[in-house]
Structure 1
């Protein structure tokens, strides 16, 4: 897996852009003053096309508005890394955000890269946007078990709050200030979807980390999805999915119950693994992921997280008090999971773990007062009574248009009805297996399209003549007459 950048919202007194003075805090805290911090993993490795710090401003302001305190800047050893780090640090300072380095040890040597790692830490430790926790420079990683932590500490000029993605039983946690778990999805214990009775849950990994840390800072992961479909057109072929469904909703309740010191959302912009919660329009270069990312916005997942982030920082067990307006967030895959694309797809075989997915539409309601939700999928209509606050449910999808409506007292609530721009089809879009999710909202959000650089690798590996352009229609597809209606009795309410 590849790590991703995290976004961090931090409330500080005025910071002068361009100043390199160190900002010292007795203890980092979020805007609410609770001391709990929310990060979001941000991939520097795909943003080589950014030409100034201003290219980061939209990401910084959007993340801050959602309650994110800092971006975890995932870095490798690319030649453009240092320039992009300067841009990110300068943008964060201008937008009153925080950032920190997250070293990807897929690219850094565990033994020979200490001077390079220490040099980057020393360079950026004096930037005003560098995150500090407990008066220490905050640094993390993706993997890295076995790196000489004490050698890193001896080589840097400031005390470190070192919280890497080490693994219990594989690393010496006594050398750490905290640790980050990357296990944000159920697996079989071997980095694949659960199978043959082998199931490793996310909360079981939480317990392993909490036990290993013995009171030190735990960075709990949260991710909405994971699917990837790289083939022979790239060097790091991978073709698998993890169970998603209502993962995003359920995981946030686990976090509210766990109350860790830190949360890291995976990710802001790892489009290749389909767990991005940042915009498609965020500037980035395409490594071939656009084949399954084009026309598949995820902004609704960030919308859903907002009241949960506020509740987490307040120490609450429910997001209900932090919901400020009615909203429906929905997501679904755009083809049935058993659709056979082998004759047109250049990647051999259907993704591993496909059978753990459900051919359902997943709906989360954030409501100011109770109402009735109507979902029409194809010719089938489902209705359920949603309580005030947060609740979730799912229904089997049908091919065709997808419509969502909120009513109260038998009348449609103004602005709370929409038909998705994305149809569900019984055909292999662009000839590939696509297990990414389309995420929409009611009220509808702003249209979000990939930019030219984000479509640059679209045709790599395709056998079809699919065009590398955004293709969502300007208006929703037509609906068909309903043939059946069902009342949904199973609703997952918010937990109080």
Structure 2
């Protein structure tokens, strides 16, 4: 990362409606990681944005006792995110470490210096997860349910569930603590045996919008802004970020910023505190906004079986459209053939429409009551029956309405 890229990330995310970046890291010593943190904190300080550190404990390269001295480099920055004056800290995993070790290694050394961290971890790797969480981890100020952002891995098609989220939200409220809920589009990785997988993305994003508004968590974390390796980025990723890896083979040229048309109104609806359903996620003006997305390789491609959970994928053209009122029709096309037509209603409309076909002509149209096309989104990439190279690319082509 460069200083200019950090400024762009901060300003772009702020324009979408985000309040902060969760800086997820497994490396607290290498110069590339420390430089990136420096650039991001400088950019956030200068542009009225917030940041907090989320430690990726799954790598097992960080121990709780290493965290205090590292955090002291950042928590005094104006941009460090705080709740009630306390610096916010999160994790991915870390449930293999006992509560007592988190207290003695992480919290007490900071408290002894007058700093009381606000700790909201995701301990999905804890053997008792998610039940009785605060009984086993009373030191936590809240809990984050990272892995519930997608359906469980498996061989059958299933929608994303909020059962774990509901469980943890109830526990947090009973303990007078906070619950942070994850939001994500999908997950795709193709980095070699054991590192090739797919987590459902057909209409996962709008389904999570609805679940979040219904459950009203205290905080929401979108996964992610820039993780090209796992495919769920909605913002920028830069060349040096993926240099020396095969990530570019499936991420380069696949722009996901079209999803931002949906994310911005969702953030506004969530922050209102009154929205409880998708019908209350409205476009920012009088025109429809939304996105089209589809995979550019059919599920029947011979290479698909190399991807874990490939059975959950569907050959669909997917859309989500926010309408200002009733009276619109949403038409979905594949290979220039109409495969679905749906009456729209005010707020969030979405669907995964079967019938994705080989070739070009993947697009959606929003038609008003007079029969005029008032918005459309057309894919720039053709769909293939088989991969033309060694990469079985299940990344999404994402296009916003215009």
TM-score scaled by structure 2? 0.86
Please list, as runs of the form range in 1=range in 2, the aligned pairs for 1:334-349 lying within 5 A after superposition.
Answer: 334-341=296-303, 349=305
Q: Are positions 1:252 and 2:209 aligned together?
A: yes
Contact kept in structure 1, 2:156 and 2:311, CA below 8 Å: no
Matches of 2:161 and 2:50 in 1, distance apart? 27
Q: Pick closer, same or farther for the CA change 1:92–1:418 going to 2, 3 Å.
A: same
Is 1:264 the equivalent of 2:228?
A: no
Give the Cα–Cα distance (whole angstroms) in 2 for the partners of residues 418 and 313 of structure 1. Answer: 28
Which residue of structure 1 aligns with residue 321 of structure 2?
A: 365
Name the structure 2 match of 1:352: 308
Counterpart selection for 1:419 from 347, 365, 378 = 378
| Shift in Å, 1:389 | 2.0
In the alignment, what sits opposite 2:109? 155
1:215 and 1:182 mapped to 2: Cα distance?
20
Distance 2:51 2:137 in 1: 24
Alpha carbons 1:380, 1:398 under 8 Å: kept:
no
Runs of 5+ in structure 1 lacking a partner? 1-49, 188-192, 343-348, 444-496
Instruction: Tell me the secondary structure at the aligned position of residue 18 of structure 2.
Output: coil
1:474-485 to structure 2, matched below 5 A, reads none
What SS class does the counterpart of residue 372 from structure 2 fall into? strand
Q: 1:90 to 1:423 in 2, by over 3 A?
A: same
State the alpha-carbon separation in 1 of the partners of residues 322 and 220 from structure 2. 22
Instruction: Write 1 or 2 for the structure with the bigger share of helix.
Output: 2
Residue 186 of structure 1 is matched in structure 2 by 151
TM-fit CA distance, 1:163: 0.8
Whether 2:56 is the aligned partner of 1:104: answer yes
Asked if the contact 2:160/2:208 (under 8 Å) is kept, the reply is no
CA drift at 1:410: 4.1
Alignment of 1:2-41 (within 5 A): none
Which of 121, 136, 152 lines up with 2:86 in the alignment?
A: 136
- What aligned pairs does 1:197-208 form with structure 2 within 5 A after superposition? 202-208=161-167
Using a 3 Å threshold, how does the CA distance of structure 1 residues 412 and 125 change in structure 2: closer, same or farther?
A: same
Distance 1:429 1:387, change over 3 A: farther
Q: How does 1:285-434 map to 2 (within 5 A)?
A: 285-286=242-243, 287-315=245-273, 316-318=275-277, 320=280, 322-324=282-284, 325-341=287-303, 349-369=305-325, 370-381=327-338, 382-395=340-353, 396-400=355-359, 401-414=361-374, 416-434=375-393
- What SS does structure 2 have at the residue aligned with 1:292? helix
**Post-superposition shift, 1:430?**
3.1
Specify the alignment match of 2:21 in structure 1: 71
Tell whether the 8 Å contact from 2:282 to 2:322 is kept in structure 1 after alignment: no
Which deviates more, 129-138 or 272-281? 272-281
The residue number in structure 2 matching 1:57 is: 7
Give me the whole-angstrom Cα distance separating, in 1, the residues matched to 2:234 and 2:43. 20
Q: How far apart, in 1, do the equivalents of 2:85 and 2:60 lie?
A: 27
Shift of 1:334: 0.8
Pairing 1:212-231 to 2, within 5 Å after superposition:
212-213=171-172, 214-231=175-192
CA separation in 2, counterparts of 1:51 and 1:406?
40
CA contact (8 A) 1:173 1:212 kept: no
What is the SS of the residue equivalent to 1:245? Answer: coil
**Cα distance in 2, alignment partners of residues 310 and 196 from structure 1:** 34
Q: Secondary structure at the match of 1:124?
A: coil
How far apart are residue 299 of structure 1 and its match?
A: 1.0
Greater RCO, CA 8 A, separation 6+:
1
Taking structure 1 as the reference length, what is the TM-score of the superposition? 0.71
Q: Please report how far the alpha carbon of residue 379 of structure 1 lies from its aligned counterpart in structure 2 after TM superposition.
A: 4.3
The alignment covers a number of residue pairs equal to 374
